[in-house]
Amino acid sequence: MNSAVKTYKGYEIHPLVYPRRPADGQTSRNPDAGYDASVRICRVGANPAADGRVFRLQYLFPFDGTGKARIACMAHAEQLIDGRVDGQSVADL
């Protein structure tokens, strides 16, 4: 699945959405279990795998669809870039 890459204030935002794992740790493909999400942020033109950083979205409940998870990734990344998330920063990227 291709993820949509967005640029914001000189950073690339790569949403990472994946099926939620059950508490027992078994891998499953049950879309009813929901989705978890993280976001990889790097400078525009940098190698995301080498020069980026992954931030996990902390939600108590899984997202019920990949679209909602991607939207949350983009919003969270913009807040990180703007410096509005306590304890997380992209200033050193």
92 has pLDDT over 50 = yes
Side chain identity, residue 15:
P
pLDDT given for residue 28 in this prediction: 60
pLDDT in tens, 78-88: 999 999 999 99
Cα(86)–Cα(71) distance, integer angstroms: 20
> Residue 6 has which token pair?
């967005």
pLDDT given for residue 76 in this prediction: 96
pLDDT in tens, 34-73: 899 999 999 999 998 899 999 999 888 999 999 999 999 9
The domain spans of the chain are: 6-81
pLDDT given for residue 39 in this prediction: 96
1 has pLDDT over 70 = no
CATH 3.40.50 fits 6-81, yes or no: no
